[in-house]
Structure formats: structure tokens, C-alpha cells
Amino acid sequence: MLSPTSTDVIRATLPVVGAAIGEITPLFYGRMFAAHPELLRDTFNRGNQQAGDQPKALASSIARYATMLVDPATPEPAEMLSRIAHKHASLGVREDQYEIVHTHLFAAIVEVLGDAVTPEVAAAWDEVYWHMARDLIAIERGLYAGAGVDPEHVFRDLVVVERVQESPDTVSFVLADVDGAPLPEAQPGQYVSVGVRLSDGARQIRQYSLVRFGGAEWAITVKAVPARTGADGTEIPEGEVSNFLHRNVFEGDMLQVSPPFGDLILDDSENPLVLISAGIGTTPMIGMLHHLRLSGSSRPVTVLHADRSPSRHALRRDLKELVATIDGATLVRWYEDLGTRVPRADLAAGLVDLEAVSVPTDAQVYLCGPLPFMESVHAGLVAKGVAGDAIRYEVFGPDKWLVG
């Protein structure tokens, strides 16, 4: 916990720092990348930086952590810290890099707030930072030890043994050890990081859910992210790694891949299970369904999925076949464009409609898809009586939704 003096200072200055954190974090990243360009080139997601997503996520996490330290009524952000630590471990983040972040974050705070950062204020926020850093470092040490790796040797070379076009913009890659050795065990819902060397020399890393795992092979499914316009009108280029994989990686090629990480892990209770996804958010759900089938689970399972159209629904056949092989599992799909198909009880036009399905109030719910979709579905689930802490989710990118 914070010292009494620092607690009083943080409580008094949190509104000011919180109001300015959105200005502080972009300045921090600019300073850090100017001093350490290798971090932007080889570790951080350049697309998220350009879109502004990563600074927003950092701002939310710092504000929430500081609030927890000074307000006993605020729940401890264990889930947030776990999510961040798993991502860090999948990237090979080192303990010494927290010192780099500290240096440039506090320089940015001083630049934005000026004379308001007295020695007492600086010392209190320094204490907050190192509390959070120590918590993350402790979790990351455990993750590295559990995976049998160290930060310098997170990635290993795997060979692509199969490439499957799942939909017009989605491809699955089946990965194996070059010598056929078994791959590390994974938990249903986890992801791996994939690192590629781009044409400009940058080594960019992205995370992809394991849609199949066990034994000597893993499978990931990658959607080619198109160029788009951000909410503020900023033009955001296409996804660097996803499009590189689509255009350049085929059977026999090698990829650098991390061990499995991620804390969206299927629970082993007997509670009813509800899996809700949209678009490429189906991938962790496919991994969970494979596990349920192989384990012979008998728990009730409801699978809800939304997509643009049947032709653009990646892993559509896998989803249907897996649900059909699991006793007590049901599937309902919604498509914005249903085409010539006739709606029926398990197939509808439009968006996910929770009023059209039964969701047990004691269900464990797993949710993955675009942020607006998840926000809407989350609110609908709570309105139907599902406890908020029974709803787990995965964000493909910086988590700027439920961490604030």
C-alpha cells in the first residue's frame, strides 16, 4: 500500500493528473520512442500507436490503479494486471524496461503539469508507478517460469505445415516444430504471439488466439485488417502483420512464435456456458469448443455468433460441426446480410438479439468481438440478470473498454 503521505497527495492530485493523463501518455510515448526507437520498431504495435489506442489504454490503467490505491471501495484491478502481464510476457518485456518507461513517463508528467509537480507530488506518483510495476513484474516472472522461458528467449521457430483460406479475408495457419516434437500445452482461450520481419526491417509482433492446440500442432486464424478511418478522421493504414502473413507466408515457411499466454481461460465449473462472438472474435471460442469436445464435457453450452454474411464468416463450418458434436450445445447465428437464406430459430438476419435466446443467470459467459458489440452485449447480459463478474472478455488490441 501507499504511505499515508503519498495517499493524501494522490487523493488530492488524482483529478488533475487524471484529467491530463490523455495528454501525458501520447507525449510519453513520443519521448520514449525518440530515445529508444527500437521499442517502436521491434516491440510495440505501430498500428495501435498511430491509431492512439495504446496511449488511451495506458491512461486508463494508470488512473484505475491509482484510484484503487487511495479508495478502499475500488476493487483491486487483478484482472487488469493479469491481462497486461500476459501481454507483456507474450512480447518478452524485460524488468529493466520498466525503468525506461518510468524515466519518460515522469518527464512527460512534468512537461504537462509544470509547477504543479512539486517534489511531494512527484514522490507520490513515483510510488504509484513502482507499486504497479512491481505487481506486474511479479506476475510476469511467474508467467515466464511457468512457460519455461526467459524474456530474451520467448520466441521459437515453428514451420507452417498447412495454410487454409477460411473466408475472403481470413486464413488459418497450422504450425509445428521443425522436428515434429510436441508443442507446449495451452489452455482453451489462450493466444500466441507471432513475430515477423517486415520489408522496412521492423520486427512487429501480434497476438492470435489458438483455434486448435494439443500434441504436435497449433492452429491460428488471421484476419487481414484493412486500412480504415479512425473516429477522429485519422487515416489508419492496413494491419502490418496480418497482411504480411496473408501475402507472404505459405506451407514450409517459418514463423517466430511465443508460448501460449492469455488469461481468458475456460473455467472448469459445471455452470451453464455461453460463448458470444462477432467476426474474428470467434477464434477463442473455437479453441474452447475443441477443448469441450475432446474432454467430453456435459455442461450446457449456448453459442451465439454474429457476422456480416455467411460467406465472410471465418471458421463457419468448424463452428457448426463442433457444436453438433457436443452434447447439450446449441448454436444461434445472426448475419447482417442473410442473402437468400430463410430465417429460422437458429439463423436470423441482423445483429445479436439477446431477447431471442435464453441466457441462464448462473451462466459463465465468454465474450469476444469489436468493442461496440461487446459493450452492447455486456449491457444486455447484465440486464438479463447475469452477474458482471461472470462475464469474461477478450479484446483484440489495447484494452480501453473495461479497464477504466
How far is Cα 324 from Cα 335, in angstroms, rounded to an integer? Answer: 20
Task: For residue 137, give the C-alpha cell.
Answer: 513484474
Task: For residue 327, give the C-alpha cell.
Answer: 452434447
400, 375 Cβ separation under 8 angstroms? no
Cβ neighbours of residue 249 closer than 8 Å, sequence gap 6 or more: 160, 163, 173, 196, 255
Task: For residue 344, give the C-alpha cell.
Answer: 429460422
Tally Cβ neighbours within 10 Å of residue 179.
7
198, 47 Cβ separation under 8 angstroms? no
Which amino acids are annotated catalytic?
Answer: 98, 140
β-partners of residue 394 are 368
How far CA 236 is from CA of 170, 231, 379, in Å, comes to 20, 10, 29
